Amino acid sequence: MKWRELFARIGPPRQLNAELREKIRRSFDESANDEERFPSTIDPRIAHVRLILEFFGNLDGKRVLDVGCGKGRFARVLQDGHPAAEIWGLDISPAMLSYVPEPIRTRTGSMTELPFPEAHFDCVYATESLEHAVEIERAVDEMCRVVKAGGKIVIIDKNAEHFGRLATPEWERWFSKREIERMLARHCREVHSQPISYWKDLKPDGMFLAWTAVK
């Protein structure tokens, strides 16, 4: 049986138990020095960055959380552009977080159990990290919990219609537009989604989707 058929039958794991959490942490800790696969910087002209910056607007005096921030490539751009913002990066992997420069603040933890109080942030975003959360709905609930009423959320991740185009670990999930829209709409208003490419003038090939919401 081909792996794709097997995957369709069994599906990815649904529960982030202690063993799987440790496996995911170890996998990212071990890959942290792979700068090609996990770059620590990103070109600020890339459409994924632009969408976050444009949707959030002026961040002076605002508190922002990057969920599953990795080495903080997005957080760096936000902090550079908004020195008066308080930017936080959370990740399961301490090795990834060791690359995040000050004054960005970091916290180790799981996006399914964010170690922050309710309504603590003005804006929250997750780029290519929700796909690793395993308990997806719980992670989206958590993002919505820690954002203030009127606060903004962005999720950028891969489209389930293209699953199989890249090699993925067994826990990774890609998403349909409706699936994440439905999860966000349980807590937020103004929920939108759109295909997004890396460059603004390049027609999206459908691989990436961006969801935006206001709580």
Ligand X SMILES: C[S@@+](CC[C@H](N)C(=O)[O-])C[C@H]1O[C@@H](n2cnc3c(N)ncnc32)[C@H](O)[C@@H]1O
Is 24 a residue that touches ligand X (CB under 6 A)?
yes
Rounded CA separation 161/207 (Å): 8
CB of 2 to ligand X, least distance (A): 25
Give yes or no for residue 158 binding ligand X (CB under 6 A): no
Report the residue closest to ligand X, judged by CB. 70
Closer residue to ligand X (CB): 21 or 148: 21
**DSSP letter (8 states) at residue 40:** S
Q: Which is nearer to ligand X, 68 or 151 (CB)?
A: 68
Distance, in Å, from the CA atom of 176 to the CA atom of 183, rounded to the nearest integer, reads 11
Q: How many residues of this chain bind ligand X (CB under 6 A)?
A: 19
| Nearest Cα residue to 135 out of 185, 173, 78 | 173
The runs of H, that is alpha helices, within the chain are 3-10, 18-31, 47-56, 73-81, 94-97, 136-146, 177-185
CA dihedral of 197, 203, 204, 206, whole degrees rounded to 10: -160
Stretch of 77-85, 107-115, 162-170, 182-190 lying at the interface with ligand X (CB under 6 A): 107-115
Of 110, 159, 193, 212, the one binding ligand X by CB under 6 A: 110
112 binds ligand X (CB under 6 A): yes
Nearest to 51 by CA among 42, 38, 62: 42
Which residues 62-91 are close enough to bind ligand X by CB under 6 A?
A: 68-70, 73-74, 91
> For binding to ligand X (CB under 6 A), which residues are involved?
24, 28, 68-70, 73-74, 91-93, 96, 110-112, 127-129, 132-133
